A and B are shown apart, each in its own frame.
Chain A
Amino acid sequence: MKWIRAVLWAAAAILPLIAPLFLDRGMLNDLWQLALAVILASAWNLLGGFAGQVSLGYSAFLGIGAYTTLLLSLKGVEPFLTLPLGAVLAAAFSIIIGLPAFRLRGPFFTIATIGVAEAVRVCASSVSFTGGSSGLRMPTGSFNFNLNYFSMVILAIAVVATAAYVKSSPFGHGLAAIKQDIDAAEGVGVNSNRFKLAAHALSAAMVALAGGLYAINFQYIAPTSVFDFRLSLSIVLMPILGGLGTVIGPILGALIFSTLQIKLLSIPLLRDSFLFIYGGLLIIVMLYEPDGIVGVWRRLAPVRRIFNAS
C-alpha cells in the first residue's frame, strides 16, 4: 500500500509540471489558481491544523508579500528577487502579532486575529503608498505567464513537502501536542510559545511568497483585493473542508474550493453571494464531521475493508 501512495504523490507533483504540454492557457490559469489555493491552505494548516490555533488574519501576510513585491518592482527591482524580502517581512510581522496574541487561547486568539487583520486592512486603504482604494499596477513589460505558472506550482510542491516533513518531525509532534492539550504539552517540555511562533512565522513566510507571485501574475493589487476579509476566510475554509491537521486535507479542500469558485463565479446570480455555499459547508462540516473529507474517508474504513477482502 505504501508504494501506491508514493506513486500517487509523485504523480500529483509531476502532472502540473508537464501540464503546459497538453493544456491550453485557460486551463493553466485555473491550475495556477489551484496552486495558489494549495499554498494558502497548506501553509495555514501548519498553525491552524497542526497546532489548532485558528487564525482569521492571514490576508495580512498575503498583502504584505504582494505589496513588497509590487512597491519594489515599481522602484525598478527585478520582481522575483523581492520575494524573499516579502517573506521575511511577513514572518517578522507574524512574530510581532504572535508574541502578545499567543497568550490568548482558542476562540479568543481567533477574535484577536480578526481585529489585527481588519486594522491592517483599514490602515492599508487609508495610507497613500498602497494606492488607496484604486490600487497599484505592476510596471509593464515584465510579464511571462509560463515563468509565473512554474514558480507557483513549484512553490506549491515545496509547501506541501514542507508540511509533510513538519508533520512527521519532532516540531510537528510538538504542535500536535499543543493542539491536544496545551498545558500537558508544556508539562512534557514543549515550549508552546516558541513552537506556535515558529509555525506562525513559517506559514506567514509561505503565504507572503504566494502573495508576491500573485502580484507578479495578477499585475494589479489593491487593499480591497489582498487584505479582503473574504480572503482570510477562504484560507481557513479550505483546510477545514478537507481535513484539519492532515497533509492531504488542505489539498483536497483547495481542489474543491477552486473548482467551486470557478464554477460559481460564472453564474451571475451567485457572483456576489458565492460565500453562501461556503457558509453552509462550514456549518455542515463543523456540526457533522469536524475532520472534513479526511474524516469521512476514515469513517468509511470498514466499508473499504469489505471491498478489499472480496
Chain B
Amino acid sequence: MQQQLVSVILSALLAAGLYATMAYGLAVIYGVMRIINLAHAGLMMLGAYVTFALFSRFSLDPFAGLIIVGPFFFLVGVVLYRIMGSRLTRSNVSPSIESLLVTFGIWLVLQNLAYVIWSGDTQSILTSYTLKSVKILGVRLGVPSVLVFLASVASLIFLNLLLKRTYLGKAIRAVTQNRDAARLSGVDADRISATAFGLGTAFAGIAGGMLSTMQAFTPDFGRSFLLKSFCIIVLGGMESVTGVAVGALVLAAMENGLAVYTSVPTSLQDAVSFALLFIALVAFPQGLPSLFTRFARRSFR
C-alpha cells in the first residue's frame, strides 16, 4: 500500500517536470504578448521530429540533441514573431480571437508540412537505454522518464535564473505586468516580445524532443499535450512561474492517482484532463493561487 503511494508520487513528480516544461512555453508567450499560442502543439511535434532527424541522420543522442533543438527553436520563434506576431494587435487587457486563429493556422501549416516531409507513419526513437529502468526508493522507473525529468528541471532552473537575475528577465517580467508602463520606462517591448516568443518556442521544441524519447509520435501528436498545457496554466493562474509548477503537479498527481486508485480506464484519462481544463477555466479563471490568496485573506481577517 505504502509502496503504491510512493510509486504514484514519484511518477506524478516525473510527469510534472515534463508538463511544467511544456506549459512554461505557453505561459511566457501568454504573459508577455497576451497571445494564446495554439501553434505550441505544432512546435512540440516539430521538436520531436527534429530530435528524431538528428538521431537517425547523425545518430545524435536525443538528450544531447536538445542542446541543438533549444537554440534552433529559439530562432524559429523569433522568425515567426517577426513575420506574424508583430502584425497582431496586442492589448494589455485581454487576448484577441484573431491572434488565436493565426496561431491555429500556423499549427495547421506545421502539422501538414510534417505530413508531407515525414508522412503520417508513427515514428519512435529507440536508444540503448529506452527500455531500461532503474530502481529509486524501491520503485522501478524507466530511464528515459528519469532523464526527461532531470532535463526538465535543468531547463526550468535555467529559465528561472534568466527571469530573476538578468536584465532580459526583468524586462520580460515588466512587460508581463504592464506593457505600457514597461515601455514608458524604456523597455523595448517589441524586442522583448520577440525574445519571449523565441523562449516559449524553444521550450515547446525541448518539450517535444523530450516527449519523443518516451513515446511514439505522428504529425498529429501534440494536441492532447497542448490541452494539458492549457489546463496547467489555467490552474496555475496564467502568468506566475510557481503557479505553473503547482498546476503541473496537480494535473500529474490527478492523472497518476486516477490510474492507480480508480477503475477509470486509461483510454478515458485524457477526457478527464480535458474536463478538468473546462472546470478550471470556469470555476477558477484566476488560477489556483488566487484561490489560496482569497482563502488566506478570508481566514486572516
Q: Which residues of A are interface residues toward B (Cβ below 8 A)?
A: 52, 54, 100-101, 103-108, 110-112, 114-116, 118-119, 122-123, 125-126, 229, 233, 240, 269, 272-276, 278-283, 286-287, 290
Q: Roughly how many angstroms separate A115 CA and B227 CA in the complex, as a whole number?
A: 7
Q: Mark B98-115, 1 if CB is under 8 A from A, else 0.
A: 111110111111111101
Q: Tell me the B261-277 residues at the A interface (CB within 8 Å).
A: 265, 267-268, 270-271, 274-275, 277
Partner of B109, one of A112, A122, A279, A290: A279
Residues of A within 8 A of B223 (CB): 118, 229
Residues of B within 8 A of A275 (CB): 108, 111-112
Residues of B within 8 A of A240 (CB): 101
Contact A273 B270 (CB under 8 A): no
Q: Roughly how many angstroms separate A100 CA and B277 CA in the complex, as a whole number?
A: 13
Residues of B within 8 A of A122 (CB): 267-268, 270-271, 274
Contact B268 A123 (CB under 8 A): yes
B217 → chain A closest CB, angstroms: 15
Q: Roughly how many angstroms separate A218 CA and B41 CA in the complex, as a whole number?
A: 32
Residues of B within 8 A of A282 (CB): 101-102, 104-105, 108
In the complex, residue of chain B having the shortest beta-carbon distance to the beta carbon of A56 = B104
Q: Is the interface of B mostly helix, strand, loop or mixed?
A: helix
A228 → chain B closest CB, angstroms: 11
Q: Roughly how many angstroms separate A275 CA and B223 CA in the complex, as a whole number?
A: 15
Contact A104 B285 (CB under 8 A): yes
Contact B267 A119 (CB under 8 A): no
Contact A286 B102 (CB under 8 A): yes
Q: Roughly how many angstroms separate A274 CA and B111 CA in the complex, as a whole number?
A: 11
Q: Is B95 an interface residue (CB 8 A)?
A: yes
Partner of A112, one of B104, B106, B277: B277
Q: Mark B235-273, 1 if CB is under 8 A from A, else 0.
A: 000000000000000000000000000000101101100
Q: Roughly how many angstroms separate A111 CA and B282 CA in the complex, as a whole number?
A: 11
In the complex, residue of chain A having the shortest beta-carbon distance to the beta carbon of B120 = A272
Residues of B within 8 A of A115 (CB): 227, 230-231, 274-275, 277-278, 281
Contact A287 B109 (CB under 8 A): no
Contact B97 A106 (CB under 8 A): yes
Residues of A within 8 A of B95 (CB): 106-107
Partner of A118, one of B113, B120, B224, B267: B224
Q: Roughly how many angstroms separate A273 CA and B285 CA in the complex, as a whole number?
A: 36
Partner of A283, one of B109, B227, B265: B109
Q: Is B96 an interface residue (CB 8 A)?
A: yes
Task: With a 10 A CB-CB cut-off, give which of B105, B115, B277 has the most chain A CB atoms.
Answer: B105
Given the known inter-chain contacts A103-B282, A279-B107, please indicate yes or no for A125 contacting B112, CB distance below 8 A.
no
Given the known inter-chain contacts A273-B112, A279-B109, please indicate yes or no for A111 contacting B270, CB distance below 8 A.
no
Residues of A within 8 A of B101 (CB): 54, 240, 282, 286
List 21 contacting pairs A-B, 8 Å CB cutoff, sorted by A.
Answer: A101-B281, A104-B282, A106-B97, A108-B281, A110-B97, A112-B277, A115-B227, A115-B281, A116-B274, A119-B271, A122-B268, A233-B108, A272-B119, A272-B120, A274-B112, A276-B116, A279-B104, A279-B105, A282-B108, A286-B98, A290-B98
In the complex, residue of chain A having the shortest beta-carbon distance to the beta carbon of B220 = A229
A230 → chain B closest CB, angstroms: 9
Residues of B within 8 A of A272 (CB): 112, 115, 119-120
Contact A52 B102 (CB under 8 A): no
Q: Roughly how many angstroms separate A105 CA and B95 CA in the complex, as a whole number?
A: 9
Q: Roughly how many angstroms separate A276 CA and B111 CA in the complex, as a whole number?
A: 8
Contact A110 B270 (CB under 8 A): no
In the complex, residue of chain A having the shortest beta-carbon distance to the beta carbon of B117 = A273
Q: Is B299 an interface residue (CB 8 A)?
A: no
- Beyond the given A54-B100, A122-B271, A276-B113, please list 12 additional residue pairs across the A-B interface where CB-CB is below 8 A: A108-B285, A115-B227, A115-B274, A116-B274, A118-B227, A118-B274, A119-B275, A126-B271, A275-B108, A279-B112, A280-B109, A283-B84
Q: Mark B272-301, 1 if CB is under 8 A from A, else 0.
A: 001101100110010000000000000000
Q: Roughly how many angstroms separate A110 CA and B100 CA in the complex, as a whole number?
A: 9
Q: Roughly how many angstroms separate A111 CA and B95 CA in the complex, as a whole number?
A: 12
Contact A107 B36 (CB under 8 A): yes
Q: Roughly how many angstroms separate A2 CA and B106 CA in the complex, as a whole number?
A: 41
Q: Roughly how many angstroms separate A290 CA and B99 CA in the complex, as a whole number?
A: 11
B223 → chain A closest CB, angstroms: 7
**Shortest 10 CB-CB contacts between residues of A and residues of B:** A279-B108, A276-B112, A282-B105, A283-B105, A273-B112, A119-B274, A279-B109, A273-B115, A122-B271, A126-B267
Given the known inter-chain contacts A115-B277, A118-B227, A279-B109, please indicate yes or no for A105 contacting B98, CB distance below 8 A.
no
Contact A283 B282 (CB under 8 A): no
Contact A116 B112 (CB under 8 A): no
B187 → chain A closest CB, angstroms: 25
Q: Tell me the B210-232 residues at the A interface (CB within 8 Å).
A: 223-224, 227, 230-231
Given the known inter-chain contacts A111-B277, A282-B104, please indicate yes or no for A118 contacting B270, CB distance below 8 A.
yes
